[in-house]
A and B are shown apart, each in its own frame.
Chain A
């Protein structure tokens, strides 16, 4: 070491320790946080999947209630009028308040169209806006029949307005790929092709912060659900699932319900399992191994609710947003797997067609 360095005070051991174990790591974390927020958009695959799944859930609600639309929300929903008087959604409820069955049906079909557009990722931001406003205006006309699936879909779609949810599996992405490679485009063309108009340092943090808000919303939801359950003695006793599943209200397949809850081991495992998957969801995401367990657990949990309780659209709406926690790598692998299966089927079809065409 040279004498000039020796004489400088920053070479004291304390200074050195502070620098290596506090300042430098802090600076590195700050760079990482800034890079995460500002340099790129995250969870693009997961959000594209979430868009498709929540679109299917809402389309499912609209389809399965299509035959009953007039009495639920339309011109024959007079019975829900007193509920509307106290609704805080006010003017939104007016969208579907027509007395004409034809106009009501046309509006209803248009809302289904918006759901399909969201699934396909066509003019997605506008379509999400129309879907969330229309869906809220519709289901809140009979809020007493609604469930938390309506609420989480509304909240999630609202946050999706701030995010890029069409990076994959969407018509918007296809249109963006078709942009002629010719220098800078005028603003109108950019909007037409769905190309970014604002600089990345604005859109990236908006996307990423909305993603954080969505993730936090889901953590709150599952953790609260679990903590409310553990207070109940039927959950503690491990028999809670028996009760709702023995009601006609949730008796889609009563034989299946009694088969599952009739067995003492099964009912306890399922009851405790329901609490555990929710309680450990948020913390489970922290480690790659437990993250996979948490996600598989929550898929089975919602799958069970969907089938056993006859709540498929509620379950799918809840599950849709969990897709953001599946890594892009897994989504790519799933996409690859799907393509391979399809290619394999196509080859087999061609081979059998060729064999059939061959003269014997």
Chain B
């Protein structure tokens, strides 16, 4: 036995036995915690089924929330747009005009460009498109068509009913996920409209596009801006109600995202 081992033994003798029990319990708690985190992070396994995914979920969320399938199994390879337009009434003539589309992601791209520490405003519209795309993915054709209908006089709550009346497709929770995303999209469109166009906002509309990054083999022939775009349309919506303060504080972002100068 070397010197330090003998020293350790002597030091351990001075520690009460309860300390070992205490430390043992801590190790046990740590092991259980780690196993639960491991189960949460892993794909679905028989172990998770056995413990119950709700049990695992209720332990992990929200404080230990984590997801490590980042850029996996395949990395992000799609560029998107989030475009908005509005129907504007001229307060003097009462004439109603439909504006051009403004892509807010294009402005967000400019925020990233040459900025080694870009602010999170570079993701507001981008992530909204991503979230809209996930929200619509469980929908059937009938429901997808319904999204293109206008809800301007009819309250938007009716869209939820109409989506739910479809056979199959997205279930109630999934429809609710879309309804929240619609609310996000409409409020962004409204905030944008206040700064992009003069006049009273009658309705707003949003649409998204997606286009793939060129494959590695095509990298010298084209960029992500040259590939074909798919468009996803949504109907006209009543604008969100915003306070004067909200509109005013939204301006710097609106100017960047809409490239309004």
Contacts and interface: CB of A to CB of B under 8 A. Distances in A.
Interface in A205-220: 205-206, 209-210, 212-213, 216-217, 220
Given A88-B62, A89-B62, A243 B76 contact: yes
Contacts of A83: 180, 184
Interface residues of B, number: 80
Which of B79, B248, B249 gathers most chain A CB within 10 Å? B249
Contact of A78 (B61, B75, B112, B246): B246
Contact of B213 (A37, A99, A142, A246): A246
B19 A253 contact: no
Interface in B7-46: 8-9, 11-12, 15-16, 19-20, 22-23, 26-27, 29-30, 33-34, 37-38, 41-42
Interface in A226-259: 228-229, 231-235, 237, 239-244, 246-254, 258
A201 B19 contact: yes
Contact of A310 (B11, B117, B128): B117
Which of B121, B124, B213, B253 gathers most chain A CB within 10 Å? B124
Interface of B is mostly: helix
Contacts of A67: 119, 252
Nearest to B19: A201
Contacts of B126: 249
A225 B70 CA distance: 7
Contacts, number: 243
B213 A220 contact: no
Contacts of A356: none
Contact of A248 (B16, B66, B180, B224): B224
A151 interface: yes
B249 A101 contact: yes
Contacts of B253: 68, 71, 76
B30 A241 contact: no
B112 A252 contact: yes
Contact of B113 (A39, A81, A101, A248): A248
B38 to A, nearest CB: 5
Given A38-B23, A82-B181, A148 B66 contact: yes
Given A71-B253, A213-B33, A79 B188 contact: yes
A330 interface: no
A247 B34 contact: no
Contacts of A231: 72-73
Interface string B182-207: 01100110010000000000000000
A206 B113 contact: no
Interface residues of A, number: 87
Interface in A81-112: 81-83, 85-89, 99, 101
Contacts of A216: 30, 34, 37
Interface of A: 28, 31-32, 34-35, 37-39, 60, 64-65, 67-68, 70-72, 74-76, 78-83, 85-89, 99, 101, 140, 142, 144-145, 148, 151-152, 154-155, 158, 201-202, 205-206, 209-210, 212-213, 216-217, 220-221, 224-225, 228-229, 231-235, 237, 239-244, 246-254, 258, 261-262, 267, 307, 310, 312-313
Interface of B: 5, 8-9, 11-12, 15-16, 19-20, 22-23, 26-27, 29-30, 33-34, 37-38, 41-42, 61-77, 79, 109, 112-124, 126-128, 131, 180-181, 183-184, 187-188, 191, 213-214, 216, 219-220, 223-224, 240, 242, 245-246, 248-250, 252-253
